[in-house]
């Protein structure tokens, strides 16, 4: 496994917007709620006055391969920017194929931290559901995944005429 570096910022930096969106576009699961513009506007409205903790995961060449945007919902509790009630399909934002590497780096980086991460609205098929609990133990942390709610799906025909 290639070593990855984790950096943390206390804001959503407009200078990172294009790199952020490039990672979101290269992610396994794409969602408008993971793009920089949505995250920026959500944080400005719903996380105003709260501490942001935006984690950037970079490879050895300095390329951004993952993002975990968090905000302090309560003392000692960090949640995904986007909130549990406003946005759907929130998650680690990572280049497809680098999800496990990004989670391993993020969990190792936070092993000594006392804050609790609460990740709402993560899709059931996301690598996060499998990777985060499995990799947390290797960093001396505990993680669990619970079903919050189900999203109905309606399969549509390939053509409207049929």
* Tokens, residue 66: 């993952």
Domain enclosing residue 58, as ranges: 5-138
Q: What predicted TM-score, i.e. pTM, was given to this entire model?
A: 0.86
Let me know if residue 121 belongs to a domain: yes
Distance CA 7, CA 116 (A): 18
The answer on pLDDT for 143 being more than 70 is: yes
Q: Which of 70-74, 117-121, 143-147 has the lowest mean pLDDT?
A: 143-147
127 located within any domain: yes
The verdict on residue 42 lying in a domain is: yes
- Does any domain span residue 19? yes
pLDDT at 12 over 90: yes
Mean pLDDT across the chain: 89
Number of domains into which the chain is organized: 1
The pLDDT of residue 37 = 97
* Residue at 84 is within a domain: yes
Beta partners for residue 70, in sequence order: 53, 80
CA distance 120 to 103: 16
Other CB atoms within 10 Å distance of the CB of residue 14: 10
Residue 156 in any domain: the answer is no
> Does 153 reside within a domain?
no
Residue at 146 is within a domain = no
The CATH number that applies at residue 99 is 3.40.630.30
């Amino acid at each position: 496994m290639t070593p990855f570096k984790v950096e943390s910022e206390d804001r959503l930096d407009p200078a990172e917007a294009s790199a952020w969106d490039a990672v979101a576009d290269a992610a396994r699961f794409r969602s408008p709620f993971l793009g920089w513009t949505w995250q920026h506007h959500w944080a400005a409205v719903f996380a105003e006055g709260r501490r942001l903790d935006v984690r950037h995961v970079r490879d050895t060449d300095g390329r951004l391969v993952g993002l975990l945007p968090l905000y302090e919902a309560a003392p000692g509790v960090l949640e995904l920017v986007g909130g549990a009630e406003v946005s759907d399909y929130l998650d680690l934002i990572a280049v497809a194929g680098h999800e496990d590497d990004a989670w391993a780096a993020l969990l190792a980086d936070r092993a000594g931290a006392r804050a609790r991460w609460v990740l709402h609205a993560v899709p059931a098929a996301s690598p996060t559901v499998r990777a985060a609990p499995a990799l947390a133990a290797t960093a001396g942390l505990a993680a669990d995944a619970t079903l919050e709610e189900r999203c109905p799906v309606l399969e549509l025909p390939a053509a409207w005429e049929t």
